[in-house]
Amino acid sequence: MSTLRSASATRETILAAARRLVGQVGPSVTLEDIADEAGVSRQTLYVHFGSRSGLLIALVQHMDESGVLHELLQGVFDAATAAEALDAVANVHAEYHPIAYSVARVFMTGRREDEAIVAAWEERMASRRNLYGGVIDRLDREGQLSPVWNRATATDVIFALTSWELWEVLVVDRGWTKSQYLRHLRTLLRRALLDPDDLSRLPQVDAGGVD
């Protein structure tokens, strides 16, 4: 049992070191960097994760399981109405993108080159689409989905508007604050996806000025 605890502790130490260095160094971080930061040998990294890609994939999974993502997603599932679930989707991305960006940008860089990262990225994107598809299904069931969309195209719209790429342009490049991003994303999602008759009856998103 002590051996299992030791292995688990070593794994946690490596993942913590990887997260720190990914945030500091970015996409160029190497296994040697992470091994030095964690105080272990490169061979130990291979024993636990198999490869750099395996380590990065495990890091994303670890962040998802041990961070705030579960609580944020629960807000989508627990929403009283479909429109509120749509607002909660915007909240997921406003809150979690800043937390996970340092790791996500490594995946964004490698997702067209590294086969393992490509597979992990596609799995993550499929999971996102499943979440959005559930929200769209609920909008449709509750009669709130705009008639200009079918379920597939409406899911595509959420996928595009909540993408890492758009968040990066608006927040990282253009300097939007979290509150700006959240307000405007909620407005975009509502106006794009909700039936105009339902949209007019909903409380308006707090504009907080014209920023």
For the chain (211 residues), the mean pLDDT of every run of 10, in chain order, is: 69 91 80 92 91 84 81 95 96 94 82 75 86 96 94 96 96 96 96 81 52 54
d(CA 73, CA 133): 14
Pick from 95, 93, 100: which is nearest to 23 by CA? 100
Domain 67-201 class in CATH: mainly alpha
Q: Is the dihedral of CA 203, 206, 210, 211 positive or negative?
A: negative
* Range 86-89 contact pairs with CB under 8 angstroms and sequence separation of 24 or more: 86/135, 86/139, 86/158, 86/186, 86/189, 86/190, 86/193, 86/194, 87/186, 87/189, 87/190, 89/131, 89/132, 89/135, 89/158, 89/162, 89/189
Domain ranges of the chain: 2-52, 67-201
User: Which parts of 67-193 fold into alpha helices (H)?
Assistant: 69-77, 82-110, 115-141, 151-161, 164-167, 178-193
Tens digit of pLDDT for each residue in 15-31? 999 988 887 887 778 88
Under a CB-based contact definition with an 8 Å cutoff, are residues 148 and 167 in contact? no
Write down the pTM of the prediction: 0.79
Was domain 2-52 assigned CATH 1.10.10.60?
yes
| pLDDT the model gives residue 210 | 44
Under a CB-based contact definition with an 8 Å cutoff, are residues 138 and 85 in contact? yes
d(CA 23, CA 21): 5
Per-residue CA distances from 122 to 129, 159, 160, 199 (Å): 10, 13, 15, 33
| pLDDT the model gives residue 5 | 56
